[in-house]
Structure 1
Amino acid sequence: MLTKEQLLAMSEDDYMNDEQHEYFKHLLLTEAQDIKDHLKEARENLSSQSYEADELDKAAQEEDRRLQLRFLDRQTKLLPKIEQAIARIEHDDFGYCEITGDPIGVQRLLLRPTATLCAEEKQRQEMKEKSYRDA
């Protein structure tokens, strides 16, 4: 399997070849399993927590619990995105912007392997959102 350095050293003509698909599929599968393991562990920790009688301790525990639940929610929402990215690899759509069809780019995919938009399109959408908020 390719290393990250080999992946980055490949020419643009080799974009989304079989080796790159294999690299990203392995990366996504590993990330999905890590998230599932972490979710299981976090749920077990949350269910086994006991509460202190002291009001300050209770408040601190509740805040910690709220932050853990928020993190769990984010992780739970990430799993379907990972599964969709794996499906795009299998259908040979992975690595290309769903709006423009342009390559997303290896560096962007290494940072966010679930990305569906190229940097330019993502920036355009963020500018639109900002202008709607400002209006």
Structure 2
Amino acid sequence: MGMGITKDELLQASANDYMNEAQLDYFRRVLEKLRIETMSSIEDAKQQLACPPEMNDEADRASYEEESRLALRIVDRERRLLPKIDAAMKRISSGDYGYCLESGEPIGIARLLLRPTAELCAEVKILNERREQNYRH
């Protein structure tokens, strides 16, 4: 890889540099890698589901069913992640990446490093979650 900036350089960048070419390039690579990992995780889980092992007793069957449940959960979670990755890639192209979809505020490097698909800044996310909790009661 070589080229491109490091995580440390990202975290030390000044606010004026926020979402400059080098940073967008960094997150584009992170998202591409995440997409490949997600696809292969889905494939692995599908393989596991497609080839049941030989089951000689109840214990085998029980552990296989447990593993299948886990595999299905992984497929489900990873499938939901794919559109988020694609949406983030689109935002990189359109120049909206790294900014909150609701407030327009910068999401911030630290948060994007933890969750490169983030669409909301932490403040808006917390507010939304609080709102949801209030509706639930």
TM tier, smaller = over 0.9
Aligned to 2:55: 52
Taking the aligned partners of 2:81 and 2:107, their CA distance within structure 1 comes to 19
Aligned to 1:97: 100
Asked if the contact 2:28/2:92 (under 8 Å) is kept, the reply is yes
**1:27-106 alignment, distance < 5 Å:** 27-106=30-109
Which ranges of structure 2 fall in alignment gaps of 5 or more residues? none
Question: TM-score, structure 1 length as denominator?
Answer: 0.95
User: Secondary structure, in 3 states, of the residue corresponding to 2:5?
Assistant: coil
Question: TM-score, structure 2 length as denominator?
Answer: 0.93
How far did 1:133 drift?
1.4
How far did 1:76 drift?
1.0
Query: Is 1:110 the counterpart of 2:109 in the alignment?
Result: no
Which ranges of structure 1 fall in alignment gaps of 5 or more residues? none
- Determine what percentage of the aligned residue pairs are the same residue: 45
Taking the aligned partners of 2:114 and 2:103, their CA distance within structure 1 comes to 20
Taking the aligned partners of 1:45 and 1:56, their CA distance within structure 2 comes to 18
Aligned to 1:23: 26
Taking the aligned partners of 1:63 and 1:42, their CA distance within structure 2 comes to 13
User: Secondary structure, in 3 states, of the residue corresponding to 2:16?
Assistant: helix
How far did 1:38 drift?
2.1
How far did 1:41 drift?
2.3
User: Secondary structure, in 3 states, of the residue corresponding to 2:107?
Assistant: coil
Q: What is the letter of the counterpart of residue 5 of structure 1?
A: D
How far did 1:51 drift?
4.3
User: Secondary structure, in 3 states, of the residue corresponding to 2:119?
Assistant: coil
Q: What is the letter of the counterpart of residue 28 of structure 1?
A: L
